[in-house]
Amino acid sequence: MIAAASGARVVAVDVSGAALDLARRFGAVECVDAARAEDTAAAVRDLTGGGAHLSLDALGSDATCAASVAGLRRRGRHVQVGLLPSPTGTTPVPMARAIALELEILGSHGMAAHTYPPMLDLVRTGALRPDLLVTSAVPLAQAPAALAAMDTARGAGVTVVEPWR
C-alpha cells in the first residue's frame, strides 16, 4: 500500500491467494503465487523486465530472503525486515549474486521514526488506508493462540488484539 501510494509499480509475492487479492486491492499491478510458481525469482524478473529495483521481505525465511535477492536487477536494493533463525546456521543471502550485481542489502526492524510524519500525512489525506488492512480482531484472551497460528496461517491482512473485549 505504501509503495503504491508512493508511485512504485508493485509486484507482490505470497503463498496465500487471499493475501495476493489484498495486494491487488491496495495497488499491486502484478502478483506471483509462490505456492504455484516454479521459480518465484524468475517470475519476478520476467514481470519486471530484468528484475526488481527493490525487494522487501517481511517474512524472513531462508527461502523468501534468497528468492527476494534473486529477483533483483543490477544495483537493486533488498530490505530484510527480520530473519527467522536458519536451520543451517548460515546466511540465506546469495553473496556471489550480491557482489556480481552490486546489490545493496539492508536489514531493518521496521520504519525509522523520522519517516512517520510524511507517512501519517498520507494517512491523513486518505492516500494510505491502514484501516482497510485489518481483516480480523480478537480479544486479549485469544492473542496467544493467534500468535501461535502465525506459523501456519495462510490468511491475509492484519489481526488486531482488542484488550477491552
Residue 138 C-alpha cell reads as 480478537
pLDDT tens-digit readout, 110-162: 888 999 999 999 999 999 999 999 988 999 999 998 888 877 766 788 889 99
pLDDT surpassing 80 at residue 90: no
Give residue 164's pLDDT band: very low, low, confident or very high (50, 70, 90): confident
Task: State how far the Cα of 157 lies from the Cα of 54, in Å rounded to an integer.
Answer: 22
Burial of 68 (0-12, 13-18, 19+ CB in 10 A): buried
pTM of the model: 0.82
Residue 154 has a pLDDT of: 66
Strand-pair category, 158-162 with 10-14: unpaired
Residue 83 has a pLDDT of: 82
Residue 136 C-alpha cell reads as 480480523
pLDDT surpassing 80 at residue 86: no
pLDDT surpassing 90 at residue 62: no
Burial of 52 (0-12, 13-18, 19+ CB in 10 A): buried
Calculate mean pLDDT across residues 73-81: 95
